[in-house]
Homo-oligomer: A and B are copies of this chain.
Amino acid sequence: MKKKLLIIKKFGGTSLSNIDKIKRAAKLVKKEVVLGNKVVVVVSALGKTTDKLQSLINKISFNGNSKEIDTILSSGEQASSGLMALALKNINVKSRSFLGWQIPILTNTSYGKARILNVDIKILKKEMKKGITPVIAGFQGISSEFRISTIGRGGSDTTAVAMASKLSADRCDIHTDVEGVFTADPRWVKKAKKIDQLTYDEMLEMASVGAQVLEPRSVSLAKNNNVVLWVKSSFKNVKGTKISNSTKLEKRNVSGIVYSKNDSKITLLGIPDKPGVAAKIFGSLADEDINVDMIVQNISSDGKYSDLTFTISETDLFKAKKCINSIKNDIKVKNVLPDNNVAKISIVGIGMRTNAGIAEDMFKALGKQKINIDLISTSEIKISVLISRKNLKRAINVLHKTYSLG
Contacts and interface: CB of A to CB of B under 8 A. Distances in A.
Contact of A102 (B56, B57, B97, B146): B146
Contact of A72 (B69, B72, B74, B79): B79
A127 to B, nearest CB: 12
A59 interface: yes
A68 B76 CA distance: 14
A35 interface: no
Given A61-B90, A90-B61, A102-B146, A78 B71 contact: yes
Interface size class of A (residues with CB under 8 A): 35 or more
B81 A78 contact: no
Contacts of A89: 61, 64-65, 68
Contact of A60 (B74, B83, B148): B83
A96 B72 CA distance: 12
Q: Is the interface of A mostly helix, strand, loop or mixed?
A: helix
B68 A96 contact: yes
A147 interface: yes
Contacts of A56: 19, 79, 83
Contacts of A61: 86-87, 89-90
Report which residue of A78, A146, A148 has the largest number of chain B beta carbons within 10 angstroms of its beta carbon. Answer: A78
A68 B82 contact: yes
B65 A72 contact: no
A386 interface: no
A292 B69 CA distance: 46
B147 A22 contact: no
Interface in A83-111: 83, 85-87, 89-90, 96-97, 99, 101-102
A274 B71 CA distance: 61
